[in-house]
Every structure is written in C-alpha cells, then in structure tokens.
Structure 1
C-alpha cells in the first residue's frame, strides 16, 4: 500500500483550532463583531448577514470542569460543565471575545446553565420546540428566528437587508455542499482518508472565519484527495472495517473513540453527529422567504431532544447504506439523558437494518481510554 502524502489543508484545518485566539483577536482589532453559538440549531446566516463572525462555543475538554463544579453539580453533562467552566475562567478566546452568545433550549442542563451564564455574559437564548411535527412548533421556531434577527440588529447596530440574508444563505449553502462532497469521498472502498483526517476538516472548518476563503480551501482539499485517488494512492487498508459514529457531539477529548476504532482495524467513514453529517446534509431553500427557509431548515435537524425523532433514524439508515457500513458505534456522554435514553431506539433500529451496533458512554477524561479501546477492538473483531 503506497503511503499517501496528505494535503497541507488537513493540517491547516487542525491548526485553525489551535490558532483561534490570535484569529479572533485580529478580527476584533479590525472592528468585527463576534457571535458565539452553542449548537447547530443556531441559524448562523443571521450572524453573517449582519457582517459579524459566527464561532462555535461548546467546549470539549476537562480543563475547566473543576472550576465549573464549584457552581454546577458534578453529575452534569461534561459538555455543559466544560462550556460554563471556559466562560467563567475566560480560557476560551471565542467566549472571551464574543459580543453576543446565542444559546438554545436543547436540554435542561443547558437551559439552567444559561441562566447562570447570562448573569455575566451577553446571552440570547432561542426557545427550541421539542417536536418538528406540528404547525405550532414550526411557527414558534419561525418567530424565534425573527427574534434572533432583531437581537442581532439591536446589539450590533446594523440592519440585516434582504440582499444580505440571501447572500449569507448562498455562501453557507455552498459551504455545506463542499463539506458534503468532502465527507462523501469516504463512500469509496477503501476510503481515501481516515476518520481522524475527515474529522479535522469537519470540525476545524468552523474555526476558519473568512467564508469564501474557507470554501476555496475545502475545494482545494477535495481536489487534492481526488487527484491522489486517481493515482491509485491508498491511505486506508481495504480490509479495514467501515464504521459509522453517531451520538453526542464528538471533538477534543472524545476523539479518543476515533483513535480506539482506527487503532483496532477499523476506519470511521461517516459521522452522523453534530460535528459531522447532521448539520450539513440539509440546505436552506433559496427560492422562498429567507426567514421561513431558515426556520424550516434548522428545525429539521435530527437531534435527540426532538420527540419523536424520525429524522435521525432516516439519516442513519441512509448513511449505513450509502457508506457501506460494517458497524455502528454510538458515543454518548455521561448524564446526556436524551441521547442515553434514545440508545434503545437506535439499537432496535439498527437491528432492523441487520447492522452490528455498540454504544459506549464516556466523559472528558482520558482515564477510560484503555477500556474504550478494549471494547471497540472486540466489536471490530466481531465484524471480521
């Protein structure tokens, strides 16, 4: 198997995460407004249309959890504790430099944490419906999109024009199309990139703040990988078992799950979760009222907070088929009740698909890395 020379863009996307402090500081010095968002339900097109910069805020490290636990209960989701900890310690440049933070009522832990966060940060909370099915919920979310628009205009002293919002939708749709084309490269057998490399781009793309430059760089990455494919260069063993990861947001410390899989004879070909396919698959309709289009698109995200949640099941079935998956790994965080409770339904759904399935629960420590690797290695061995 020839050794592939990965394009420099892979490291560029990883480096973007590390250099975030400098990048955001430079933007602030240029007079740019920054809006931090906690979740993929936040319509970032509104931020872009206001001439501001959106950036993700959820934290994926246990570094500040001890500080958070001075206020928050210990038996709380690590993502919630980590996010709050980075806010109170000012160790996150994105939180420190955010002129406005945009939260959403996706879970009870976040909702109550936002009450505390709002005491010392400029915070806007979107009231998310708990279902996607009925007209009342759709109308509520449409009004929440308009309410966020008003808040952004008020806080940033701007007017979001019709031209501005339509252009932001177009640019963001282009990014989604490119990211979709990128991760669909892994439909090939064998995939041209590892799951770790795919994750670098999917996660790292949110830390590149010039939308048009980011889109160009994603395009260059796709073209380079395709060129290597055409030369017959293989980066992944054809014998590697093809794994789909679903469940909670996966980045930072939880990348230990990806390492355990790929060090045990597997390769992650698709990520269904929030830092993966889920926020990219659907485009915003560019032919109808832009605010209605934004509301329609974002409400359909298949998160476990929705009840019922058919969109997650439908997406999983399609990904299993299209990516020729050998097994599904669900990663849930401790005390993430919605995903932990939905595990039973996902397991039953995978049984109907005749698809091997395992669910692992973890947190932001590294103490369980060896145990995770043992379990996932046994799972992959079972697929052989």
Structure 2
C-alpha cells in the first residue's frame, strides 16, 4: 500500500473516531431532562464542526473561500482578526483520538491539549482545522511554544511573544509591538483570491462592539448560574462557550441572547434545573474542551452542580470587555491589547496574585461549596498553583479536590469514585451547617 493511501486511511479512521466521540457527547447533552430548545443551536455548532464536518455555515461564511485564522489560547485579539476581514477559529482540541496521533511529534507525557491539536493538524480531514490559512500561537507556556515549532511543518504559523511579567513597562511595550506586527500580517494575508482588509477605526470599532455584545450575553449567562437554584447545568454552559470557537461572533451572540431570554422566563416561572440540595462546585485549573467534558459531566452525575469555572476555555474566555471606546485607531489598539493582557490570570504569568483574588471573588459571588481543581497531565503551570489556591481557600473553609487526568476515557471510573466521595463530603458539611444554624 502506498504511503499516501495509508495516510488517507488513517485520516478517515481518525475522522470517524472523532465524530463518534463527539456524537456520543452531544447525545448525552441533548438527553438531559428539561433541556431548553435554545441550547440546540450550540449543540448544532459542535455537531457541524466534529460530526458533520461542515463548519463554514456556522462561521458565517457562504463557502470556504474566506480568510480563516486559527488561534490557540485566549490572549489572541479576535477583534483585530475580525477587523481585518478574517474569521477566527479557536483550535484548542479536546479529542482523545487525535492526541494519540499527536504523540508522533509531542512527548507522550506532554500536554493532552497540545497533542490533540497537533494530531488534528498533522492528519488532514477535519475542516475546522484545514480551513485555517494561518494559525497564531502565543508563547504562554513551553508546550505552546514548541507546538508552534512543530506545527510549522504543516501550517503557516505566526508566533506571538507573550510577556510573562504583565506589570512591567517593557512588557506592555513588547505586547503593543506584537499587536501592531499582527495587524500588519493580517492586512497582508492572502488566500484563494481573498486578502486581508486594512484595519481602520471604523472596522475596529465594529469588531469591538460585536465582541462586547457577546461578552454582555456571557455575563447574563453567568448571572443565571449564580442564582440560588441555577437555570442551566454546568456542562451545558461549558458546551455553549466551547461552541464560540467554531461560530461567528454575531450568530453566537444572537443565539445566546435567545437562551438567556429563555432562562429568564424559567426563572420567572420557578423552573430550575434541579430541586434537590446539590453542592455548588467551582472548577479551577486546566480547561475542559469538547468533546472531552468528562469532568463537569462527572460532577453533575455524582450529585453536584457546576456553577462556575475559571477556565481559559470557559467563563473567563468572554468576561473582560475592551476598556476603550475611543474612535481613534491607536487608542482602540491600546484598548484591545490591554484587554488581552492586563486582566488575564493564566498561571503562566508571574506574579499571579490576581488569579487567587479572582477565584476568591467567584467563590463568594457563586456561593460555592467546594472547588474541583482540574489538572491535565503535563500542564505544569496549573499544577504549580494548586497549593496556593488551596491555602487561599482555607480561610473561607472551602474544600478543594485536585484531580489529574488526560483525554483517555479509561480513568472515568477512578475519577467517578473520587468525585463522588468529594461531593458526599460536601453534602455532609452542608447538612451539619444547616443543623447547627437551626439549633441557633
């Protein structure tokens, strides 16, 4: 058999496996009792990307003859990409099947997200990855830095030097230089007869406003999750945010507005997603990326409810808006650059006291009973901060459970046992507190 035939066979096998895993996850999400029909749009986006393998309509493109820019990590300014006439597609991957292929170029003990992303770029076939004319990778961690080097064998790669000491004047200067260099590259981008547009104040203002509307709806969704009886399951909310990666910002925002309106109506009619006294769980650490939603799923199957997270692919992905509303392009560039650097609490930054402050604030705002700290194997930067977060929560008497996993489904039962024991402990703690309060 020719090498090309072997590669085609391997690609078809990968696509079938990815589609099967994604379809199974979507079936579980759709089977949740009381699921609002407004969630179907977000499930359809994920189905289009991973099962039907036809993502372009959801990305707002009539055909594949459009400029698509792949992005890794949440520090890449999507407003700048939209302003240049391109469509951003976030390519951070959560597929176990592709992570096995990625091990051809990524160490076996390396980050599962990087291995999975590498595998889907190496093995052609998944259009969401194949569409992208170029990928932008920031140097937020060692794994991403080396990912850029390895991916350059398959894609055009633009590396963005991310300063790791945010408060230094030199860091802000370097970051602005990177943003202007990215702007120039986007304007010069060409593919299939299409080319990047000149980024001017009008286009930038429109892109900032579009993203701001998405962020406003995201904060509405968070408000629905913060109520005493949440109106949406945590795994459903995770899928909503994951769908943003493969959807045009305007379509996603319109769909989320409809969902939020529905959740408001459910609140008025007193129709929460559960009526039992479930512990409220906050997930910290490494992101859960579709179709690998086993952590939020296990939490809720075992009797908890995920009310918030601090993931770079979750709640904080679309939280902080651009501060500048100026019509001057230079001020807009400064506002966009600041939005992606200053409030970011990625553990790759140092010092990173802002992250602990964020977690403590959300613990209060969402009335959290316990924290599940999720560590992807090989994700050293998140694992480094477990003890700092645990010590910070001790004053609030908030228990923390650290779980380490990868994309392999074989550890589900082991995780189930540990998570179930953690939730039972939280239930007992809550019961004792109520009993003590009733006794005065």
What TM-score bracket applies, with the shorter chain setting the length? Answer: over 0.9
Q: Which residue of 2 aligns with 1:22?
A: 54
**TM-score, normalised by the number of residues in structure 1:** 0.95
Matched, 1:86 2:123: no
* Deviation digits for residues 28-78 of structure 1 (CA, Å, limit 9, x no counterpart): 726321011111000000111112111110110111223222222211111
Q: Which residue of 2 aligns with 1:116?
A: 150
**Greater Cα shift, 103-112 or 348-357:** 348-357
Q: Which residue of 1 aligns with 2:433?
A: none
Bigger radius of gyration: 2
Cα distance in 1, alignment partners of residues 138 and 151 from structure 2: 13
Cα RMSD for the two superposed structures: 1.7
Cα distance in 1, alignment partners of residues 299 and 33 from structure 2: 20
Q: Which has the higher contact order (CA 8 A, sep 6+)?
A: 1
Matched, 1:165 2:204: yes
Q: Which residue of 2 aligns with 1:199?
A: 238
Cα distance in 1, alignment partners of residues 147 and 324 from structure 2: 35
**TM-score, normalised by the number of residues in structure 2:** 0.83
Report the Cα offset of residue 238 of structure 1: 4.0
Cα distance in 1, alignment partners of residues 334 and 384 from structure 2: 32
Other structure's SS at 2:407 match: coil
Q: Which residue of 1 aligns with 2:131?
A: 97
Matches within 5 A, 1:43-58: 43-58=77-92
Matched, 1:181 2:181: no
Q: Is the 8 A contact 1:170 1:286 kept in 2?
A: no
Other structure's SS at 2:70 match: strand
**Greater Cα shift, 50-59 or 27-36:** 27-36
Cα distance in 2, alignment partners of residues 229 and 306 from structure 1: 39
Matched, 1:215 2:247: no
Other structure's SS at 2:219 match: helix
Q: Which residue of 1 aligns with 2:39?
A: 10
Q: Which residue of 1 aligns with 2:269?
A: 231
The number of aligned residues is: 381
Cα distance in 2, alignment partners of residues 98 and 185 from structure 1: 35
| Equivalent of residue 363 in structure 1, options 382, 402, 406 | 406
Cα distance in 2, alignment partners of residues 70 and 232 from structure 1: 52
Matched, 1:152 2:179: no
Q: Is the 8 A contact 1:245 1:331 kept in 2?
A: yes
Matches within 5 A, 1:37-48: 37-48=71-82
Q: Which residue of 2 aligns with 1:252?
A: 290
**Greater Cα shift, 314-323 or 86-95:** 86-95
5+ residue gaps, structure 1, are none
Cα distance in 1, alignment partners of residues 91 and 391 from structure 2: 33
Q: Is the 8 A contact 1:102 1:125 kept in 2?
A: yes
Other structure's SS at 2:383 match: helix
Other structure's SS at 2:55 match: helix
Cα distance in 2, alignment partners of residues 259 and 381 from structure 1: 16
Other structure's SS at 2:305 match: strand
Cα distance in 2, alignment partners of residues 260 and 180 from structure 1: 25
